[in-house]
Chain A
Amino acid sequence: SYVLTQSPSVSVAPGQTARITCGGANIGSKSVHWYRQKPGQAPVVVVHGDSDRPSGIPERFSGSNSANVAALTVTRVEAGDEADYYCQVWDSDSDQWVFGGGTKLTVL
């Protein structure tokens, strides 16, 4: 089965840039989606289709995807960005939806 690997945690100071990565075999050939989840809340999509932002998501959030790594970049990080972030793909070979293990973004 397809596996997505995320670092457990990323820490950045306010105003700095956070980069959260999601590794997977040839992930560049898949469409990657990113979710933000704050404590006690349901996940919310922040980037879909590798780099598209839903309405209401700030331009500070951007996505990229190439080769074996996809990334979510958050520029000018704010305290309110502190949350767990998950990547997700649909694996067409197995017809399974797959989540990464999640990355906790801490704003110092």
Chain B
Amino acid sequence: QVQLLQSGPEVKKPGASVKVSCKVSGNTLTELSIHWVRQAPGKGLEWMGGFDPDPENGGTVYAQKFHGRVTVTEDTSTDTAYMELRSLTSEDTAVYYCAIDMPLNWFDPWGQGTLVTVSS
């Protein structure tokens, strides 16, 4: 059974960057497509981006809202995926989730979430 374990909470100042990790167990990262979804306090789910198996897309795909500010990477030697978000503002305060993109483009399972707080 695949499980995703995310890194701990972060507190960042406006303008800084944050990098959240997501370690895979029960399978190898090369067999999976990891995506990232965030949820601001009291708000809904917001897809950010992830790995796209379609080679025409260069391996990654991002939500138009975050394009240029977010980068997803992976380290297959440690089966760990990463999401880096730059130029943080208070509106980036949210719980960030990693999740596996299934063949018909639904997410299962999800990581436990990582709270990122942006505050001066």
Q: Which of B50, B106, B112, B113 has the most CB of A within 10 A?
A: B106
Question: Which residues of chain B have C-beta atoms less than 8 A from A13's C-beta?
Answer: none
Shortest distance from the beta carbon of B11 to any chain A beta carbon, whole Å: 19
**In the complex, are the beta carbons of B52 and A88 less than 8 A apart?**
no
Number of cross-chain contacts by CB at 8 Å: 67
- The contact size tier of chain B is 20 to 34
Interface residues of B (CB under 8 A from A): 35, 37, 44-47, 50, 52, 54, 57, 61, 63-64, 97, 101-102, 104-108, 110-113
Chain A interface mostly = strand
- The contact size tier of chain A is 20 to 34
- Known A-B contacts A43-B45, A98-B47, A102-B45; the reply to A90 vs B105 at CB < 8 A is yes
Question: Which residues of chain B have C-beta atoms less than 8 A from A94's C-beta?
Answer: 64
Within the assembled complex, what's the spacing in Å between the Cα atoms of A43 and B37? Answer: 10
10 extra A-B contacts, CB within 8 A, seeds A31-B105, A88-B106, A99-B44: A31-B106, A45-B106, A45-B107, A49-B106, A54-B108, A88-B45, A95-B52, A96-B47, A96-B61, A101-B44
